């Protein structure tokens, strides 16, 4: 019985130290939404969550032990003191449970204002197109505006750094192409963000192949002709891309490597500007995402020579796989959502679930198909595993191709 009394008193001391924190939390809730959101983001940290449940456990132990002790009159307290202690313990238990569940309640009411997608490339590229298509559907589901903010530069690094610094409240999400969070860390000697430490996966939204194009007036009519010219005149061919480390850059480098060509890379601030330069004849070829290139191909501004998938893309009938000329070649890109680390798990799960539901819509599928994109909508855990595997893959490719930015 003495041991029970000791446990009861020690747990009571611990609770006495934590009770002011509970009352402070209550005060925050009464001081306005901004203060409350800041507090709730803090409570979502792993260490704080662990302490929340530790408090709940302490409360249970304290209350159980206290009732047992009071029942057998172990402590020489008066009846009113016993009643006061029991009431305080019960009140603390209720407050503790509310405190532990506060972040979940916050997520259930999310979003209560516009949500921003930071896209790390200029308008007109596949990343931008994907974000806008999804944003329209999520806007309908959430009853809040989804704002697309294009922050181009440094192969997606400018937008990534801004997203990494955003408040982890779910109101700023990052919508990159896969390479920004799986390849840039191997290419850039210095990054203003850490893909693994600054972000948590939410869901891969769409995936799709790239298409090798040349200007409409180019003399090259096939992949074979382009490859033959490149081998005959090493260093003559040039290709544009959306920025060092972007999917279009890595896809082109992969093609150049496997085709055994010597070609000069020309970076642009996004896929849209890179395609515009190719249309104007400033570069010889461009390996762009199908979603961004297909309109220019159908409009006669670019000529499609081959697709990076192992089979023909139904959106571009008659355009053969590059693998028919360069055996074993394949390259498929993806676009998805990641969130600043510390974003409530419940919010992450909601975004993933709502995205999955949006991608199941027949109208959405039709729009994506027209752009050469396939819906994915996997779970945060599945996305995390896929990103980890892709990070290791690009690590090898970047090293072998000696792609680096000091």
Q: Assess whether 375 and 329 both reside in one domain.
A: no
Domain of 270, CATH number, reads 3.40.190.10
> Cβ(212)–Cβ(287) under 8 Å?
yes
> Cβ(307)–Cβ(316) under 8 Å?
yes
Model pLDDT, residue 41: 52
Q: Assess whether 232 and 342 both reside in one domain.
A: no
Model pLDDT, residue 74: 45
Q: Assess whether 194 and 277 both reside in one domain.
A: no
Q: What percent of the chain has pLDDT above 90?
A: 64
- Band the pLDDT of 226: cuts 50, 70, 90: very high
Domain of 19, CATH number, reads 1.20.1300.10
Instruction: Return the HEC string of 194-225.
Output: CHHHHEEEEEEEEEEEEEEEEECCCCCCCHHH
Give the residue from 56, 81, 108 where a domain finishes: 108
Q: What percent of the chain has pLDDT above 70?
A: 73
Taking 70 as the threshold, does the pLDDT of residue 25 lie above it? no
- In angstroms, rounded to a whole number, what is the distance separating the alpha carbons of residues 98 and 26? 10
pLDDT tens string 316-341: 999 999 999 999 999 989 999 999 99
Q: Based on the structure, what is the number of domains in the chain?
A: 3
Q: Assess whether 120 and 47 both reside in one domain.
A: no
Mean pLDDT of 12-21: 62
In the chain the first and final C-alpha atoms are separated, in Å, by 68
Question: Comparing 12-21, 111-120, 190-199, 227-236, which segment has the lowest mean pLDDT?
Answer: 12-21
Question: Comparing 97-101, 122-126, 250-254, which segment has the lowest mean pLDDT?
Answer: 97-101
Question: Mean pLDDT over all residues of the chain?
Answer: 84
Q: Assess whether 236 and 288 both reside in one domain.
A: yes
Q: Assess whether 291 and 200 both reside in one domain.
A: no
Domain of 133, CATH number, reads 3.40.190.150
Q: Assess whether 17 and 60 both reside in one domain.
A: yes
Residue 276 lies in a domain: yes
Residue 283 lies in a domain: yes
Taking 70 as the threshold, does the pLDDT of residue 2 lie above it? no
Residue 323 lies in a domain: yes
Give the residue from 91, 108, 125 where a domain finishes: 108
Model pLDDT, residue 34: 41
- Band the pLDDT of 237: cuts 50, 70, 90: very high
Structural domain that includes position 92 = 2-108
Taking 90 as the threshold, does the pLDDT of residue 116 lie above it? yes
Q: Assess whether 171 and 281 both reside in one domain.
A: no
Residue 50 lies in a domain: yes
Residue 351 lies in a domain: yes
Give the residue from 333, 358, 392 where a domain finishes: 333
Model pLDDT, residue 245: 87
> Cβ(112)–Cβ(121) under 8 Å?
no
Residue 309 lies in a domain: yes
Model pLDDT, residue 263: 95
Q: Assess whether 193 and 306 both reside in one domain.
A: no
Q: Assess whether 294 and 388 both reside in one domain.
A: no
Residue 406 lies in a domain: no
CA angle 388, 392, 395 (to 5 degrees): 135
Taking 80 as the threshold, does the pLDDT of residue 97 lie above it? no
Q: Which residues contact 377 (CB under 8 A, 6 or more apart)?
A: 203, 204, 205, 352, 355, 356, 359, 360
- Band the pLDDT of 62: cuts 50, 70, 90: low
Q: Which residues contact 351 (CB under 8 A, 6 or more apart)?
A: 170, 173, 202, 203, 337, 339
Three-state DSSP state, 126: helix
pLDDT tens string 264-285: 999 998 899 999 999 999 999 9
Q: Assess whether 349 and 200 both reside in one domain.
A: yes
How far is C-alpha 240 from the geometric centre of its chain's CA atoms?
26
More confident call, 222 vs 91: 222
Q: Assess whether 345 and 197 both reside in one domain.
A: yes
């Amino acid at each position: 019985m003495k041991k029970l009394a000791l446990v009861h008193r020690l747990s009571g001391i611990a609770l006495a130290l934590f009770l002011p924190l509970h009352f402070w939390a209550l005060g925050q809730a009464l001081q306005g939404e901004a203060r409350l959101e800041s507090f709730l983001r803090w409570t979502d940290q792993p260490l704080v969550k662990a302490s929340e449940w530790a408090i709940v456990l302490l409360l249970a132990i304290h209350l159980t032990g206290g009732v047992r002790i009071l029942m057998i009159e172990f402590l020489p307290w008066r009846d009113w003191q016993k009643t006061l202690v029991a009431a305080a313990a019960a009140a603390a238990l209720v407050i503790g449970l509310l405190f532990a569940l506060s972040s979940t309640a916050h997520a259930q009411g999310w979003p209560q204002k516009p949500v921003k997608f930071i896209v790390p490339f200029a308008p007109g590229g596949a990343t931008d197109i994907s974000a806008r298509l999804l944003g329209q559907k999520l806007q309908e589901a959430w009853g809040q505006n989804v704002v697309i903010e294009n922050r181009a530069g440094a192969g997606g690094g400018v937008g990534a750094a801004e997203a990494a610094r955003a408040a982890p409240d779910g109101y700023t999400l990052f919508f990159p192409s896969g390479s920004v969070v799986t390849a840039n860390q191997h290419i850039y000697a210095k990054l203003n963000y850490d893909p693994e430490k600054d972000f948590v996966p939410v869901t891969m939204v769409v995936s799709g192949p790239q298409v090798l194009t040349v200007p409409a007036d180019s003399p090259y009519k096939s992949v074979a002709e382009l490859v033959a010219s490149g081998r005959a005149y090493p260093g003559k061919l040039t290709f544009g891309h959306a920025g060092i480390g972007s999917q279009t850059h890595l896809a082109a480098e992969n093609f150049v490597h496997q085709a055994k060509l010597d070609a000069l890379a020309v970076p642009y601030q996004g896929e849209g500007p890179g395609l515009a330069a190719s249309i104007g004849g400033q570069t010889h070829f461009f390996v762009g995402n199908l979603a961004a290139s297909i309109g220019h191909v159908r409009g006669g501004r670019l000529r499609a020579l081959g697709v990076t998938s192992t089979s023909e893309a139904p959106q571009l009938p008659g355009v053969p796989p590059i693998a028919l000329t360069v055996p074993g070649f394949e390259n498929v890109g993806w676009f998805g959502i990641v969130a600043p680390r510390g974003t409530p798990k419940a919010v992450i799960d909601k975004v993933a679930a709502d995205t999955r539901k949006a991608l199941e819509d027949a109208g959405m599928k039709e729009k994506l198909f027209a752009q050469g994109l396939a819906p994915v909508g996997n779970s945060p855990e599945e996305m995390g595993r896929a990103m980890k595997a892709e990070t290791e893959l690009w690590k090898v490719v970047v090293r072998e191709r000696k792609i680096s930015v000091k």
